[in-house]
Structure 1
Amino acid sequence: MSSSNYIKKVAIVGATGTVGKFIVEELLKLGKHEVTAITRKDSPAASSIPAGVKVAAVDYSDESSLVDALKGQDALIITMNVQAPPETQLQLIRAAAAANVPYVLPNEWGCDMADEQFGKEIFLGGSEVPARKLVEELGKSSWIAVVSGFWYEYSLGMGEQCYGMDVKNKTWTFFDDGETKMNTTTWPQSGRAAAKLLSLPIEPETPGGPSLSSFKNKFVYVSSFLLSQKDMFESVLRVTGTKESDWTIKYEDSVKRYEEAKKRALSGDMTAFPKLLYSRAFYKDGVGNFEARRGGLANDILGLPKEDLDEATKIGVYRDENGLRYKHVDAAK
């Protein structure tokens, strides 16, 4: 099949951000795409764009600058903070349609937002559902939403409010019995998933073969590990060389934990948002186990590798020990 059956030009918003950094890294490793970082004209991030990536500085108050930056692109990847104004993503989607960009990977990269009720309960559906619907209404692009669950090493290292671990104080809070399993993905695996997805042939090269077009307006489910909190705890014990008796173990009802955090969030205390988000995802309804709910993963289709849990856990422990909440570390040193 000719090279015209593969996309070439990929634009990304958030190229130096939490997951965007890893997507760009993996795209560059594959070497199959021309990557353009879409940045604000006054953004300091432009100076940290890696070599080999083009930069298109835009003005979000001028739609024509967005359209011009996206002309000729085959795909637009959107990665932004969940607290970014929803209108920003909608602006980008409208510009992508005006520029005839065939594929848009919207700002998903997390929980399974195909479950719209769940999306409402974690306060995120209000921005993600309209984004996908707008792509379809405009009719110029197709969306592909990458669902990876929570980022493992990030969530593990975010303290008790996420996966329950507090390394410094040697405490662990289990939600319910701590045995509810959920899919979780490392940052590098998230980057690989996006890069490998966009490296698929647009149309199948063999009957029934993998293709980018087969994912049009669909969710792509990827994962590094299917774990319970107790599975995570066992890995932490191995990595830290500690034993269970060294830790203070607590148990909390996931529903009560969620409701308490929701009450705080609705009163304006958004520091409760992570607690709300993770508590709801650990409900015994299995909403976090999309591997089971959606009939499997796309890992094999995309050629994603099996990963070492303890190596990923080392990074999470390192992050928690050093209070790294939003900074990247490549490895625990």
Structure 2
Amino acid sequence: MLRYAKTQPLGFKNAIERVAIVGAGGTVGSHITAALLGTGKHTVKALTRRDSKTKLPAGVIAAPIDYNDPASLVAALKDQQFFIITIAPTAPRNTHSKLVQAAAKAGVPYVMPNGYAGDVEQVQFGQDTLMGPAAKAQRDEIEQLGMRWVNVCCGFWYDYSLAGGSARFGFDFDKRALTLYDDGNTKNSVTTLDQVGRTVARLLSLKELPEDEADTSLTISQFWNRPVYVTSFVLSQNDMFASVKRVTGTTDADWTITSEPSKQRYAQGLAQVKAGNMAGFSKLLYARAFYPEDPGNLSAKAQNKLLDLPEESLDEATKKGVDLVEVLKGRAERMAN
């Protein structure tokens, strides 16, 4: 049943102002947090482990939590209107459920679950990548607890994936080597981390409800229990490579280029995962997205114009990805020590 702002209790403000987020210092969470702060319309509360050393941006409210103390989670989420979950895939399996259950007890009406990639409506793709069933269970739990969800479907994060090694978009910048999936011409829709942040900020800056029956403006209520589709570019590996060469001032002669069948790489990655080697997960995930007959292309559903998102420069995004190589390398070295 459609709700209107005019029918809400006295004192109702038709805006999302109080936003909680877990993972505010993480890969995508840091971009979402920065974009929300940049609107000037939201207070941002970051749920952080009590022993966390992550430095949060100025203006973010820190809420120390203990995942083994449900009361600390509920207290941190009290009076929040929207809860954004961004957690690492290596987090304990029950982490997401703990957060969602705490949000329900705290009375949070909306949750953005931990899914910022493929199309939630592409069921076979989700099954093949092993992510779909778990993601659906997360959305179902949110609904069963009486809350509503909004998912961001953005394809792979372009800059992050470009920098992530040969198991992702095939680039090994240290060795100047590129592994193409098949002929390298299958196109995928990809999104920069900045664009994901802007998407969430634009969404949460909308009115929550239509004012009345005559109000046809875009509102958050139109996305209740639905995905939001966004993209920055639609690219093949060869398109990416052309941009990389422009950004790095290199030519084909500077690179070692090989190719592998996408289905073969998928099978290799799946076998590794089944053997308990999670290093194969990225290989199966990205290889599956480059199947020529069924790629991870969300561009036909993109809602960029609806959310008034800007067009981006491919080469600027590529440069960020190239620069990110050293950042990720340094982060890995620190974690190893």
Same fold (TM over 0.5): yes
Residue deviations 1:301-328 (CA, integer Å, cap 9, x gap): 22211111101111222333x3725859
Aligned residue in 1 for 2:309:
304
Q: Distance in 1 between matches of 2:330 and 2:288?
A: 22
Question: Match for 2:42 among 33, 44, 66?
Answer: 33
Shift of residue 231 of structure 1? 0.7
Aligned residue in 2 for 1:98:
105
C-alpha RMSD over aligned residues: 1.9
1:220 matched to 2:224: no
Aligned residue in 1 for 2:152:
146
1:272 matched to 2:280: yes
Are the equivalent residues in 2 in contact too, given 1:181–1:286 (CA < 8 A)? Answer: no
Q: What is the TM-score with the length of structure 1 in the denominator?
A: 0.91
Aligned residue in 2 for 1:331:
none
Shift of residue 85 of structure 1? 2.0
Structure 1 187/196 Cα, relative in aligned 2: closer, same or farther at 3 Å? Answer: same
Q: Distance in 2 between matches of 1:27 and 1:228?
A: 31
Counterparts of 1:16-95 in structure 2, within 5 Å, are 16-45=25-54, 48-95=55-102
SS of residue matched to 2:328: coil
Structure 1 39/185 Cα, relative in aligned 2: closer, same or farther at 3 Å? Answer: same
Are the equivalent residues in 1 in contact too, given 2:186–2:295 (CA < 8 A)? Answer: no
Are the equivalent residues in 2 in contact too, given 1:86–1:127 (CA < 8 A)? Answer: no
Shift of residue 53 of structure 1? 0.9
Shift of residue 18 of structure 1? 0.8
Structure 1 327/308 Cα, relative in aligned 2: closer, same or farther at 3 Å? Answer: farther
Aligned residue in 1 for 2:21:
12
Identity of aligned residues (%): 47
Question: Match for 1:252 among 239, 252, 260?
Answer: 260
Are the equivalent residues in 2 in contact too, given 1:7–1:199 (CA < 8 A)? Answer: yes
Unaligned 5+ residue runs, structure 1?
Answer: 329-333
* Residue type at the aligned position of 2:162: L
Are the equivalent residues in 2 in contact too, given 1:143–1:216 (CA < 8 A)? Answer: yes
Q: What is the TM-score with the length of structure 2 in the denominator?
A: 0.90
* Residue type at the aligned position of 1:83: T
Are the equivalent residues in 1 in contact too, given 2:231–2:298 (CA < 8 A)? Answer: no
Shift of residue 57 of structure 1? 1.3
1:230 matched to 2:238: yes
Shift of residue 92 of structure 1? 1.1
Residue deviations 1:114-137 (CA, integer Å, cap 9, x gap): 323322221223431111000111
Are the equivalent residues in 1 in contact too, given 2:263–2:287 (CA < 8 A)? Answer: yes
